[in-house]
Amino acid sequence: TNLYTSFTEAVSQKKKLLAILIDPEKFDLENSASFLRNLPVATTHLFVGGSTVPEGMTEHLIKELKLYTAKPILLFPGDVSQITVVANGLLFLSLLSGRNPEYLIEQQIKAVSKLRGSALEVIPTGYILIDGQNVSAVSQVTHTNPMVQNNVQAIVDTAKAGELMGAKLIYLEAGSGAKIPVSAEIISAVKKELNVPLIVGGGIKTEEQINNAYKAGATMIVMGTAFEK
Ligand code: 1GP
């Protein structure tokens, strides 16, 4: 089974995907079973990742989660140390909104020795940080600025460049705990020019925000903070 197919099929069948993000650093392992029992029924995927996760914690968490769920687990790593082959897939991120070579290409080079010989499905993903009206962990850790929401054209062009460079997914990120999520205007403008599925996350809490993002053209929505204890 191919994880990426779940994205392309969702697009062609007009289905919507929902990923719940678990940050290993903020998650109490003892709550795994009950957390998974209480997931929203619409949940299709689990994302695991965070900005600053101690070595080994991600692998430990995923092994635990797999005892209780068959949902596909995708790594959404803040850095190369979080890559573990026990996951089902890896969002191979390049931070296209930033101009820090460490997160554009260096971390990716470092990942190769970890991926060599593994069957982990790697999905090239253009990652675009957009201003969510608070200082995001992504911005702090990567020393990059988010793109401003009112420069829609710059965001569209960045996303399109990512697609032309080979990204199979584009992730529009307002940052975990964002005060405002990525606007519907941005999502639909990007959607209009792109052929690859769109992931949207950061600051999404309400049903209305979820529906707006789907209606604007998101194939997958990611929610983290709303489900953290
Ligand atoms: C962050 O997009 C995710 O990387 C989810 O953000 O925690 O605000 O839901 P929240």
Residue 15's pLDDT band (cuts 50, 70, 90): very high
Taking only the tens place, the pLDDT of each residue in 19-68 is 999 999 999 999 999 999 999 999 999 999 999 999 999 999 999 999 99
The complex's ipTM?
A: 0.97
pLDDT, residue 228, reads: 78
Index of the ligand 1 atom closest to the CA of residue 223: 9
**Domain annotation covers residue 117:** yes
pLDDT, residue 92, reads: 98
23 lines ligand 1 (CB under 6 A): no
Distance CA(208)–CA(114), nearest Å, equals: 40
Taking only the tens place, the pLDDT of each residue in 84-129 is 999 999 999 999 999 999 999 999 999 999 999 999 999 999 999 9
> What number is the average pLDDT over the span 177-206?
98
**Domain annotation covers residue 229:** no
Of all protein residues, whose CA lies closest to atom 1 belonging to ligand 1? 176
Q: What is the 3-state secondary structure (H, E, C) of 71-136?
A: CCEEECCCCHHHCCCCCCEEEEEEECCCCCHHHHHHHHHHHHHHHCCCCCEEEEEEEEEECCCCCC
**Domain annotation covers residue 82:** yes
We report the CATH number of the domain holding residue 8 as 3.20.20.390
Q: How many domains does one find in the chain?
A: 1
Distance CA(85)–CA(223), nearest Å, equals: 23
Distance from residue 117's CA to the centre of ligand 1 (Å): 31
Index of the ligand 1 atom closest to the CA of residue 225: 7
Distance CA(7)–CA(197), nearest Å, equals: 6
Domain limits for position 19: 3-224
Distance CA(43)–CA(26), nearest Å, equals: 20
Distance from residue 175's CA to the centre of ligand 1 (Å): 6
